[in-house]
Amino acid sequence: MTIAGSILVLGLALLSCVADGALRHHIGLSDRRSLIDGSGAAVTVFDVTKHGAKADDKTDNAEAFIQTWRAACDSGAPAKMVIPGGTFLTSPVVFQGPCKSTEPIVFEVQGNVKATTDLSEYSSEQWILFEIIDGLTLNGGGTFDGQGSAVWKYNDCHQNKECQPLPSSIKLSKVKNAFVHEISSVDSKYFHMHVTSCNSISIHNINLTAPANSPNTDGIHISHSDGVHVTSSKIGTGDDCVSIGQGSTNILISQVFCGPGHGLSVGSLGKYKNEEDVSGIVVTNCTLFNTTNGVRIKSYAASDPSQALNITFKDIAMDSVKNPIIIDQKYGSRNGAPSRVKISNVHYQNIKGTSTSDVAVSFSCSSLVPCQGVELVDIDLVYIGKKANMPLSASCLNANIVKSGGKQNPGCN
């Protein structure tokens, strides 16, 4: 190469570097790293520590988190917000869209995010809120610590119907096309995760943990949402591992290990006026260990009319479960007027394992709108309770069994 040619190449290289630096300065990315995502597009990383966050377990990082989110969400480029290793304390924070990029925004938690415990700081019913976002990935292997043990004593919902719920740890509201995976939540003050008014949400390989005696620490509560999949996860809490509330459609719960807790539940339904119907629920390939309930449908007595239909519980393993198969339409009151939640087209298929109660199948359906189209196929449960030589039984009140087959231990006669 000639000297003139070498000078030309060097000049072009310098111009390229200057142009790249100018572009980075223009969009404010000079202190951030660029990566390549799976599609080959450049991803810009927004690190919370660059916006003042401190992993000292005492600084309230809410403002720094919000500043980082706004920078990532408004950048217009494929973006990743990162909370690195360490313990970051924060009061309630809202991560709100819509974001400007057409690519999903990534929220990566590598460290430990810890909640403050002063309840006066919580003006709403959640700690971490993601809302109005189309395209979100929440991952990173980190942990959300709700520090619930400091405030569970203030939960009086078991005796006060007008109680003020404690804040949930993570809430997704009006979120579409989200993928939540490889995160943990411990000791939530209330629900670990609340998914509401959402569409197309995939929750995979997460770990939710709270003591068995912690109040209302549901693992995942789903309501008013369509197309939510919860798969390959471990949930052990003081309440339902998964609870599926009103307005939930096309929900899949698969390969979930539940225990301790109150089981995998559809409901509670019928608590409020004009509730939306629940339909298209599939719970499959799950294991329940040492839970108070197995697969459950529950509705309040004296409810307004609504429906729960097209529900399948399939390939479920029960290990030391108190009420393996249960429909309870007198939830909340044994003496109230009959529930008007109509339950229909419910399938129980290949449910096996051990029961600590001698009544392993309990259908307490409404006398006003009896359960219709109930199927029991291959039910094989063994009693391991304290009553010696006690045979297993089934209690099937106001339930129309349309099909039974395979082993029926116990079955509805």
Q: Which residues are catalytic?
A: 239, 262
Distance of CA 172 to CAs 47, 150, 202, 244, 312, Å? Answer: 22, 24, 12, 15, 25
Contacts of 86 (CB under 8 A, 6+ apart): 55, 56, 111, 112
| Whole-number CA gyration radius for the chain | 25
Check: CB of residue 286 under 8 Å from CB of residue 263: no
- Report the C-alpha gap between 36 and 42 in whole angstroms: 5
Check: CB of residue 361 under 8 Å from CB of residue 316: no
Buried b (16+ CB within 10 A) or exposed e, 325-349: bbbbbbbbeeeeebbbbbbbbbbbb
**Could you tell me the maximum CA-CA distance found in the chain, to the nearest angstrom?**
99
Q: Which residue intervals of 27-123 are DSSP H helices?
A: 62-73
- Report the C-alpha gap between 138 and 133 in whole angstroms: 12
In residues, how long is the chain?
A: 413
- Token pair, residue 289, equals 């260990």
Of residues 78, 80, 84, 77, the one with CA closest to residue 61: 84
Residue 8's Cβ-side half-sphere holds a number of Cα atoms within 13 Å equal to: 5
Check: CB of residue 122 under 8 Å from CB of residue 164: no
- Report the C-alpha gap between 114 and 298 in whole angstroms: 33
Of residues 96, 80, 94, 77, the one with CA closest to residue 48: 80
- Report the C-alpha gap between 357 and 324 in whole angstroms: 9
